Structure 1
Amino acid sequence: MAGERRRATAVDVARLAGVSQSAVSRCFTEGGSVSAEMRTRVLEAARRLSYRPNAIARSLTTRRTNLIGVVMGDLDGPFQPYLFETLTRGLASRGKQPLLVRGDPADALDGPAMAALDYQVDAVVVTAGSVSPAAIRGLMALGVPLLLYGRAVEADGVDSICCDNPLGARLVAQALVAGGHRRIAYLGGRPSAFSEQERGSAFRAALAELGLPLAATGEGDYTYDSGHREALRLLAGPDRPDALFCGNDAMAFGALDAARTALGLRVPEDLSIVGFDDVPMAAWPSFSLTTIRNPVDNIVAILLDMLERRLADPDAPTVLHRPAPVLVRRGSARL
């Protein structure tokens, strides 16, 4: 279109700075051999022209795009956006950018999702609950480094990091029993989810070791709405539980609102509610949720170290990290 401004190129910068195009390339390459005076001249010319290096063209030489595919499921709950923001900030601090790919835990990755990974990503990070085991096998076949967050998988070349879910569930069981609770219910997430399998089984086992059976159980899908719905069902009977452990914070928020608003229960006097994850909303005064802290900042830092290690040495031994969670005591539980 007439009058449309053309994007500046390395040739334009070289002409304005009075240097060769290869000199411009060296100025924008980390560790490139160039004098301070030349670098200053080139950067000033680039500033005047609003020039930015073409990352795709540069990747043809370096064979690195600094793009990291990030496969995530639904982003409408509080945890996944919190995780993605933390991961994005961490990647940016290391000169990398995320390429978000929408996954579905019920299916293999579809054509459009796999097509997004055609952008020559340097590695793929798969978050828990975003894809099926079959989809993970398909990602392994891409031939790029694969890292799993929130799922522990023992496979050559696939590094994993996952909160110690069984420890977190045991901490909740021990604290509730020590607080005098005897009718303890559990509201779990999707049975197919790795986190649910670990948290649910560990919670039941810990209560059994303490001499208590589960008073009631519910099945949600890690959403606020399912927590609200299941809490209404679990808490409406004559033998109402005196404590409810929810498999994540989103369901706990729904349970809190159901107990207080719909049923008129006092929390924690009539009912203690505990979540899992410790998303930022959990600390809001309106929730003041007692929960298990899934240490996202620490996990992302370790994950990025694992990523750098795998990129530097594709044949390095496979690693699995299980960071320990902690119980965060707030106002929603009598502990």
Structure 2
Amino acid sequence: MNRRATAEDVAKAAGVSQATVSRVFTPGGSVSKKAREKVEKAAQDLGYRPNALARGLTQRRTGLIGVVTGDLSSLYDCQLLSHLCGALRGEQWQPLLLRTARSDETGGALLEAMAYQVDAIILAAGSVPPSILDETQTFHTPILMLGKGPTPGVDTICCDNPAGVRLVARHLLAAGHRRIAYIAGNPAAFSERERQAGFTEALAAAGGSLVAVAPGDYTYEGGQAAALSLLTSPTPPDAIFCGNDTMALGALDAARHILGLSVPRDVAIVGFDDITMAAWPGYRLTTVQQPMEKTVAAAVSLLRQRLDGEDLLPQSIRIPVSLVLRASTRPLDV
């Protein structure tokens, strides 16, 4: 056969109807053992695979979940995406990944996902103009945004950034640090705005303040450059809090390997996320842990409720965080 086998070809080869072929390849379809064996053998001989998209459209479900991602050079985003895709497949959903190079492309990616007749969409990057969110409401496709605060018409899940940065502020102050600097990520990101503002407020509440803020753009190179600038200034900080772990790893390497400083004796460094590398022996980074498993579990639970037709108001979920103490900060008993 010089063309792709169809359900009609399988039906003829097996001596059954096309409806029987359809039931064989539909989960839970009612068909006799003899007919199933005949259809499966014919399908194997012909190299036939059912068209999942066509079957899904007939059933008004494709089984596809659109996942809009950003720059996959982010270590945290890569780990989260891996957990998320695994969990979606565990629910018999197939993730359809759409990558955006810039945050302002997210709206276009959202509309592109709609064109694939996805059952729901998870936005794991960027922000969407309200006009596009309004437009998508006509599709009646559930939308879930990760790393965002309450947004009209959609579900959101975000870690408790304010609680996390308060933990960092209290720990650094309790360890005796007073010249505390901050390395910032993308100022347009919701989590970055919450982290920087919350950290500044937490220090002020304890009578302290930031001595400096340097941009790091959420990258290893950005964190390294920012740390070099801060630590070679006339009045260098004695502690640096970074808006994510990737920048913190760059800051650690700058302090230790470029400037020859002792961490934490000369400067303490703290991150946010608790990516896998943070626990590596070469870093042992103190950081705020975002529990990915809980984030993904909450996302799957919300999607299941939406796709089961539960009529809920838009949900905004905050995931609790914790401070993981490692060797990049001083023990409190010193």
Normalised by the length of structure 1, the TM-score is 0.91
Residue pair 1:129, 1:194 contacting (<8 A) in 2 also: no
Q: Secondary structure at the match of 1:162?
A: strand
Question: Of residues 221, 232, 236 in structure 1, which corresponds to 2:217?
Answer: 221
Are the structure 2 counterparts of residues 323 and 298 from structure 1 closer, same or farther at C-alpha, using a change threshold of 3 Å? same
The Cα shift of 1:74 comes to 0.9
Structure 1 residue 285 corresponds to structure 2 residue 268: no
Residues 134-149 of structure 1 mapped to structure 2, 5 A cutoff: 136-137=133-134, 139-140=136-137, 142-149=139-146
Q: 2:252 is matched with which residue?
A: 256
Question: Of residues 10, 24, 35 in structure 1, which corresponds to 2:21?
Answer: 24
Q: Which of 250-259 and 46-55 deviates more?
A: 46-55
Q: Secondary structure at the match of 2:5?
A: coil
Q: Secondary structure at the match of 1:215?
A: strand
Are the structure 2 counterparts of residues 287 and 246 from structure 1 closer, same or farther at C-alpha, using a change threshold of 3 Å? same
Q: 2:72 is matched with which residue?
A: 75
Q: Which of 313-322 and 246-255 deviates more?
A: 313-322
Q: 2:57 is matched with which residue?
A: 60
Question: Of residues 234, 238, 245 in structure 2, which corresponds to 1:238?
Answer: 234
Are the structure 2 counterparts of residues 225 and 61 from structure 1 closer, same or farther at C-alpha, using a change threshold of 3 Å? same
Q: 1:107 is matched with which residue?
A: 104
Residue pair 2:180, 2:239 contacting (<8 A) in 1 also: yes
Structure 1 residue 305 corresponds to structure 2 residue 301: yes
Q: 1:36 is matched with which residue?
A: 33
- What residue identity is the alignment partner of 1:52? R
Are the structure 2 counterparts of residues 115 and 323 from structure 1 closer, same or farther at C-alpha, using a change threshold of 3 Å? closer
Are the structure 2 counterparts of residues 260 and 137 from structure 1 closer, same or farther at C-alpha, using a change threshold of 3 Å? farther
Residue pair 1:173, 1:206 contacting (<8 A) in 2 also: yes
Deviation by residue 1:43-72 (Cα, 9 ceiling, x = unmatched)? 343334332210122123111111111111
Q: CA RMSD in A?
A: 2.2
Residue pair 1:73, 1:130 contacting (<8 A) in 2 also: no
The Cα shift of 1:300 comes to 0.8
Are the structure 2 counterparts of residues 219 and 135 from structure 1 closer, same or farther at C-alpha, using a change threshold of 3 Å? farther
Normalised by the length of structure 2, the TM-score is 0.91
- Whole-angstrom CA distance in 1 between matches of 2:280 and 2:57: 48
Q: Which of 236-245 and 310-319 deviates more?
A: 310-319
Question: Of residues 78, 81, 85 in structure 1, which corresponds to 2:82?
Answer: 85
- Whole-angstrom CA distance in 2 between matches of 1:273 and 1:141: 47
The Cα shift of 1:137 comes to 4.9
Question: Of residues 92, 96, 110 in structure 1, which corresponds to 2:93?
Answer: 96
Residues 126-137 of structure 1 mapped to structure 2, 5 A cutoff: 126-129=123-126, 131=128, 136-137=133-134
- What residue identity is the alignment partner of 2:15? G
Q: Secondary structure at the match of 1:88?
A: helix
Are the structure 2 counterparts of residues 289 and 137 from structure 1 closer, same or farther at C-alpha, using a change threshold of 3 Å? farther
Aligned residues: 331
Could you tell me which runs of 5 or more consecutive residues in structure 1 were left unpaired when the two chains were aligned.
Answer: none
- What residue identity is the alignment partner of 2:324? V
Are the structure 2 counterparts of residues 6 and 300 from structure 1 closer, same or farther at C-alpha, using a change threshold of 3 Å? same
Q: Secondary structure at the match of 2:207?
A: coil
- Percent of paired sites with the same residue: 51
The Cα shift of 1:225 comes to 1.4
- Whole-angstrom CA distance in 2 between matches of 1:241 and 1:293: 24
- What residue identity is the alignment partner of 1:252? A
The Cα shift of 1:133 comes to 5.6
The Cα shift of 1:102 comes to 2.5
Q: Secondary structure at the match of 1:202?
A: helix
